[in-house]
Amino acid sequence: MPNHKMQLDNQGLHVFSSCCPLLADLTLSFCFFIDDSGLGFLACFKKLRSLRLNTLPGITSSGFFSVAVGCKSLSALHLIRCKNVGSVEWLEYLVLDHWTNLCSKELQEYQPV
Protein backbone atom coordinates (compact mmCIF):
# COMPACT_ATOMS: atom_id res chain seq x y z
CA MET A 1 0.00 0.00 0.00
CA PRO A 2 1.37 3.47 -0.85
CA ASN A 3 2.45 5.91 1.83
CA HIS A 4 -0.66 7.92 2.77
CA LYS A 5 1.01 10.18 5.33
CA MET A 6 1.29 13.14 2.96
CA GLN A 7 -2.13 12.83 1.35
CA LEU A 8 -4.65 15.63 1.17
CA ASP A 9 -7.49 15.06 3.63
CA ASN A 10 -10.68 16.89 4.65
CA GLN A 11 -8.83 19.37 6.86
CA GLY A 12 -6.27 20.10 4.15
CA LEU A 13 -9.05 20.70 1.63
CA HIS A 14 -10.68 23.08 4.12
CA VAL A 15 -7.45 25.10 4.46
CA PHE A 16 -6.90 25.00 0.70
CA SER A 17 -10.43 26.27 0.00
CA SER A 18 -10.07 29.18 2.43
CA CYS A 19 -6.68 30.22 0.99
CA CYS A 20 -7.57 29.94 -2.71
CA PRO A 21 -11.22 31.00 -3.10
CA LEU A 22 -10.71 32.11 -6.73
CA LEU A 23 -9.44 28.73 -7.93
CA ALA A 24 -10.88 27.93 -11.36
CA ASP A 25 -9.56 24.42 -12.10
CA LEU A 26 -9.04 21.57 -9.63
CA THR A 27 -8.01 17.95 -9.98
CA LEU A 28 -8.10 15.59 -7.01
CA SER A 29 -6.68 12.12 -7.61
CA PHE A 30 -6.32 9.16 -5.26
CA CYS A 31 -7.41 11.15 -2.19
CA PHE A 32 -8.42 8.30 0.09
CA PHE A 33 -8.94 10.59 3.09
CA ILE A 34 -11.47 12.97 1.52
CA ASP A 35 -15.10 12.12 2.16
CA ASP A 36 -18.43 13.92 1.78
CA SER A 37 -17.63 16.47 4.48
CA GLY A 38 -14.39 17.39 2.73
CA LEU A 39 -16.15 17.59 -0.61
CA GLY A 40 -18.43 20.21 0.93
CA PHE A 41 -15.48 22.61 1.12
CA LEU A 42 -15.37 22.71 -2.69
CA ALA A 43 -18.46 24.93 -2.52
CA CYS A 44 -16.11 27.68 -1.25
CA PHE A 45 -14.55 27.83 -4.72
CA LYS A 46 -17.14 30.20 -6.22
CA LYS A 47 -15.14 30.59 -9.47
CA LEU A 48 -14.49 26.86 -9.95
CA ARG A 49 -15.14 26.02 -13.61
CA SER A 50 -13.47 22.64 -14.05
CA LEU A 51 -13.35 19.77 -11.56
CA ARG A 52 -11.75 16.36 -12.03
CA LEU A 53 -12.19 13.74 -9.33
CA ASN A 54 -10.26 10.52 -9.84
CA THR A 55 -10.48 7.65 -7.35
CA LEU A 56 -12.01 9.28 -4.29
CA PRO A 57 -13.68 6.28 -2.65
CA GLY A 58 -14.98 8.27 0.33
CA ILE A 59 -17.33 10.54 -1.61
CA THR A 60 -20.95 9.73 -2.39
CA SER A 61 -23.80 11.25 -4.36
CA SER A 62 -25.07 13.06 -1.28
CA GLY A 63 -21.66 14.67 -0.74
CA PHE A 64 -21.49 15.75 -4.33
CA PHE A 65 -24.81 17.55 -3.91
CA SER A 66 -23.02 20.39 -2.05
CA VAL A 67 -20.71 20.86 -5.05
CA ALA A 68 -23.66 20.95 -7.44
CA VAL A 69 -25.43 23.56 -5.32
CA GLY A 70 -22.42 25.67 -4.32
CA CYS A 71 -20.27 25.78 -7.46
CA LYS A 72 -22.49 27.73 -9.85
CA SER A 73 -19.61 28.47 -12.25
CA LEU A 74 -18.80 24.78 -12.77
CA SER A 75 -18.94 23.92 -16.47
CA ALA A 76 -16.76 20.80 -16.73
CA LEU A 77 -16.83 17.78 -14.46
CA HIS A 78 -15.00 14.48 -14.73
CA LEU A 79 -15.77 11.71 -12.25
CA ILE A 80 -13.42 8.76 -12.64
CA ARG A 81 -13.54 5.73 -10.38
CA CYS A 82 -15.65 7.50 -7.76
CA LYS A 83 -17.69 4.35 -7.32
CA ASN A 84 -19.94 5.63 -4.52
CA VAL A 85 -21.28 8.49 -6.65
CA GLY A 86 -23.97 6.36 -8.19
CA SER A 87 -27.22 8.27 -8.22
CA VAL A 88 -27.82 11.31 -10.40
CA GLU A 89 -30.24 13.37 -8.28
CA TRP A 90 -27.59 16.09 -7.92
CA LEU A 91 -27.63 16.60 -11.71
CA GLU A 92 -30.93 18.48 -11.49
CA TYR A 93 -29.21 21.19 -9.41
CA LEU A 94 -26.61 21.93 -12.07
CA VAL A 95 -27.17 24.87 -14.37
CA LEU A 96 -26.87 22.79 -17.53
CA ASP A 97 -27.13 25.63 -20.03
CA HIS A 98 -23.47 26.62 -19.49
CA TRP A 99 -21.96 23.14 -19.27
CA THR A 100 -19.27 22.15 -21.73
CA ASN A 101 -18.53 18.66 -20.46
CA LEU A 102 -19.82 16.22 -17.89
CA CYS A 103 -18.13 12.85 -17.88
CA SER A 104 -18.22 9.91 -15.54
CA LYS A 105 -17.01 6.40 -16.12
CA GLU A 106 -19.75 5.19 -13.80
CA LEU A 107 -22.59 7.45 -14.95
CA GLN A 108 -21.61 7.40 -18.65
CA GLU A 109 -20.71 10.52 -20.59
CA TYR A 110 -23.12 13.43 -20.82
CA GLN A 111 -22.57 16.18 -23.40
CA PRO A 112 -25.26 18.88 -23.41
CA VAL A 113 -26.47 20.04 -26.82
Between β-strands 50-54 and 25-29, what pairing exists: parallel, antiparallel or unpaired? Answer: parallel
Do residues 100 and 73 make contact, with C-beta atoms less than 8 angstroms apart?
Answer: no
80: domain range? 23-104
pLDDT in tens, the chain (113 residues): 455 567 899 999 999 999 998 999 999 999 999 999 999 999 899 899 999 999 999 998 888 888 888 888 888 888 888 888 776 666 666 655 556 666 665 554 444 44
In a domain, 56, yes or no: yes
In a domain, 2, yes or no: no
In a domain, 74, yes or no: yes
Measured CA to CA, the distance from residue 2 to residue 5 in angstroms comes to: 9
In a domain, 39, yes or no: yes
In a domain, 96, yes or no: yes
In a domain, 59, yes or no: yes
Instruction: Say how many domains are in the chain.
Output: 1
